[in-house]
Amino acid sequence: MGGPYVSIDLAKIEQNARAIVELCAQQGISVAGVTKATCGSPEVARAMLRGGCSSIGDSRLKNVRRLRAGGIETSYMLLRIPPLSRVEEVVASVDVSLNSELSVLSALSEAALRAGEVHDVIVMVDLGDLREGVWPEDVVPFVRRVLSLRGVRIIGLGANLTCYGGVIPTGRNMGRLARLVDEVEQTFGLRLECVSGGNSSTLPMIAAGEMPARINQIRVGEAILLGRETIRREPWPGTSQDAFLLHAEVIERKQKPSAPIGERAEDAFGGRPVFDERGDVVRALVNVGREDADVSGLVPLDDRLEVMGASSDYLIVDVTRAEEGARVGDQLVFSMNYAALLAAMDSEYVEKRYQGAAC
């Protein structure tokens, strides 16, 4: 207690999910809620499912285990390509995994057969973002090989953009995915039930009615958690941006110069920060630091406050304009970007306080 905490408003998460699910439903698209930025929080997953998400996706098996242990009964999708060394666990833990390597699919197939199961897979196609996926020209021969594996069943194709390469989903690249689906279905005489088009960055295209009809699923984390699409990071209509807030306490408040005094070397992290010379400022030291959050992603809700910098244990905030506010013992509240959320949820030093709905 007394340390920084993240407040998590489950009613807002549920409402954010509902706004996105309803939009997508109009176009026959289902939404897998993505919990990875919350380290697989069962409370958050439950709010997403209440809001209408049809399944839960996470990148880590450990998070999936946490969700299952928390009593979340749903279909689970593993978002990160499975490692060859963990195929048994993948088959045992999730209902469907995203895949791009034949050797892994072959091992998944064997593991599933040993367990007396068939494991569902989505083959990922790289549409240019250069993260995971089979190159489009290679999809048909790749699928042919996968179809010969008895322990896995291809339920669809998928793609992921705007992650590594920052490539935007467009009619062109999504159309390519839709055409590949048709080609696979015609070549092999099968029906692909799930075409998983992308993540939060697909929302503007869906809202504009431009998503090809064959795409019938998206996997959404950030837009539900933080209420923003991820192309321009604009607030998404019908969602709240403050379902997660970081709260931390002022532990020192003093008037000091804006720039350090004395001969200077590197800071504690090997950087050489630059300081403005703007005379004395009132500075608050706050009990949250780089060990707790990605401080560059913290924005004070009170716009009179300005983050000046941080060390492992302290955030330094210019509170000059807050006049009598931000006194020792006061809580300052910050919104978080995705990186700050991920780090704060992952930090054992940051308490998580759920509110907003019984769970």
- Per-residue contact track with ligand PLP, 124 to 163, x per CB under 6 A? ------------------------------------x---
Q: Give residue for tokens 């839709």.
A: 178
Q: From the CB of 350, what's the least distance to ligand PLP, in Å?
A: 20
Radius of gyration of the chain (CA): 23
Which is the catalytic residue, given 36, 254, 256, 352? 36
Q: From the CB of 221, what's the least distance to ligand PLP, in Å?
A: 3
Q: Which of 15, 16, 97, 200 binds ligand PLP (CB under 6 A)?
A: 200
- Residue 186 to residues 84, 140, 173, 192, Cα–Cα distance (Å): 31, 10, 20, 11
Tell me the one-letter amino acid at 15.
Q
- Confirm or reject binding of residue 199 to ligand PLP (CB under 6 A): yes
- Per-residue contact track with ligand PLP, 55 to 94, x per CB under 6 A? ----x-------------------x---------------
In the region spanning residues 208 to 237, those forming contacts with ligand PLP, defined by CB under 6 A, are 219-223, 230
Under 8 Å between Cβ of 175 and 212: yes
Q: How many residues does the chain have?
A: 359
Q: Give the contacts of 137 (CB within 8 A, at least 6 positions apart).
A: none
Q: Give residue for tokens 């439903």.
A: 25
Q: From the CB of 286, what's the least distance to ligand PLP, in Å?
A: 27
- Confirm or reject binding of residue 34 to ligand PLP (CB under 6 A): yes
With CB atoms as reference, the residue minimizing the distance to ligand PLP is 221
Q: From the CB of 225, what's the least distance to ligand PLP, in Å?
A: 7
- Residues touching ligand PLP: how many (CB under 6 A)? 14
For ligand PLP, the binding residues (CB under 6 A) are: 34, 36, 59, 79, 98, 160, 199-200, 219-223, 230
Active site residues: 36
